[in-house]
Amino acid sequence: MQLSIVIAAYNGGEALARTIASCIETTTGLEGEREIVLVDDGSSDGSANAVVRRFPEVKVYRNDVRQGASPARAAGARHAQGDVLIFLDAHTRPECGAIERLVRDVRHLKGTAIATPAVPALDVASWTSDSEHVGNGYGLDLETFDCGWLPLSELTPVDGPDNQLFESPALNGCAFAISREMYERLLGFDSGMKSRGMEDLDLGLRCWLMGSRILHDPIASIAHPSSRPIRSPSST
């Protein structure tokens, strides 16, 4: 299996089905080489049941009781079979070619870096992205743990497959790609971390501390609501 798209969801509503539909529609070139793994983290809104009815090819695993984002993502990775893992939030809209590009980035980098896309602001109601508000790299203040999107101009360029990639100081977990080998070397998401919103920063810190990098590809685009507003931390 070439690729596993891993989605952890809690009461994802209609946005969850739209996310999965967007993944399927934009990865036709990987059909037969990709799987979608959904971990339903104790939802009560029936969103996972709707996915089962609408997308029978999706592999759905369920937690009877909510465990939290990090344990749910860790469970998704354990069930996934792909050589490349792409983690997505349950309300993300991949643009055409974005997922394939991230897979290509990971392969070009030979498992030495996490690859992240540009993240336009997503209007969930209309399911449209706003090209005027785009998150690129992610910054983190190690004293306060304040974090936020950074403009492309603040990122350091490095050579990429056919364009420049950029170093990102931290990891935003709404959308990123990583090789299976690197994920396991970094020990993956912490199954004991119950608080939402820190599991991606934790994984990103381990990435840097263990000598690897987080590299941003501004050509790949996956929209997410959190891209608005863009703000910078006080330091990175």
Report the predicted TM-score, pTM, of the whole model to 2 decimal places: 0.92
Q: What is the mean pLDDT of the chain?
A: 90
Q: What is the pLDDT of residues 91-132, one digit of tens each?
A: 999 999 999 999 999 999 998 999 999 999 999 999 999 988
> Would you say residue 5 has pLDDT above 70?
yes
**Alpha carbons 136 and 153: distance in angstroms, whole number:** 10
Residue 187 near residue 181 (C-beta atoms within 8 A): no
Q: Alpha-carbon distance 41 to 63, whole Å?
A: 5
Predicted confidence at residue 140, as pLDDT, reads: 87
The yes-or-no verdict on residue 232 having pLDDT over 60 is no
What's the rounded mean pLDDT across residues 72-89? 97
**Is pLDDT above 50 for 182?**
yes
Tokens of 60: 């759905």
In the chain, pLDDT over 90 holds for what percent of residues?
75
pLDDT at res. 1: 62
Cβ 22 vs Cβ 91: under 8 Å: no
The reported pLDDT for the residue numbered 161 is 65
Q: What is the mean pLDDT of residues 67-78?
A: 95
Query: Which of 87-101, 150-164, 193-207 is predicted most confidently?
Result: 87-101
- Distance in angstroms (rounded) separating the CA atoms of residues 46 and 236: 40
Could you please state the CATH topology (level 3) that the domain comprising 3-227 is classified under.
Spore Coat Polysaccharide Biosynthesis Protein SpsA; Chain A (3.90.550)
CA angle, 89 then 94 then 96, to 5°:
165
Report the relative pairing of strands 147-150 and 84-88 from DSSP bridges. unpaired
Tell me the average pLDDT across 200-222. 94
Higher-pLDDT residue of 76, 161: 76
Q: How far apart are CA 90 and CA 109, in angstroms?
A: 27
